[in-house]
Amino acid sequence: MKQAISLVEVLVSIMLITTVIVSVLQMKDNNLFLLDKFSSSSLVNSYFTYAVESGEKRNSTVYLSDKVDFKDDDIRRELKNIKILIKDQDLKDVSVPKNDYIKSVSVIESSYKLELKEKTMTQKFYTFKLEQN
């Protein structure tokens, strides 16, 4: 008796191979999406870092092209369109127990708002000021 592969076996193997290929392609797309999201958020975080480190006056607008000087014209053109709005807000004073060293503690919330063509990103930083006796 001659042994051969039946049509049902061929169809099942094709379905299995197709399922594996589709799942691998889906994982690749997911990884590319996450990589793109990470790179864009990393770039935005570096823009915020430039604004925070610049020590700019509060409640103002910072243009990154004024704070960072690159010799590359492409980077300079990209930074020229980026502005970061800095806004400070005094939060309530924190009550501290009576002691000989600290008179009061105040909390300042700094909001950094980056407006790009596609989207707006916001980050908040908190600063604590201690007044001594």
Residue 56's pLDDT band (cuts 50, 70, 90): low
Most confidently predicted of 2-16, 51-65, 91-105, 117-131 = 2-16
Side-chain-facing half-sphere of 52: CA atoms under 13 Å: 17
Reply yes or no on whether the pLDDT at 1 is more than 70: no
Reply yes or no on whether the pLDDT at 8 is more than 80: yes
Yes or no: say if 20 and 26 are a contact pair by the CB < 8 Å rule.
no
Yes or no: say if 51 and 67 are a contact pair by the CB < 8 Å rule.
yes
Most confidently predicted of 4-8, 25-29, 46-50, 51-55 = 25-29
Degrees, nearest 5: CA angle 66-72-74: 85
- Residue-wise pLDDT for 73-124, tens only, equals 777 777 777 777 888 888 776 677 767 777 778 888 888 888 777 777 888 8
At 2 the pLDDT is 67
For the whole prediction, is pTM greater than 0.75? no
> DSSP string covering 37-49, please?
HHHHHHHHHHHHH
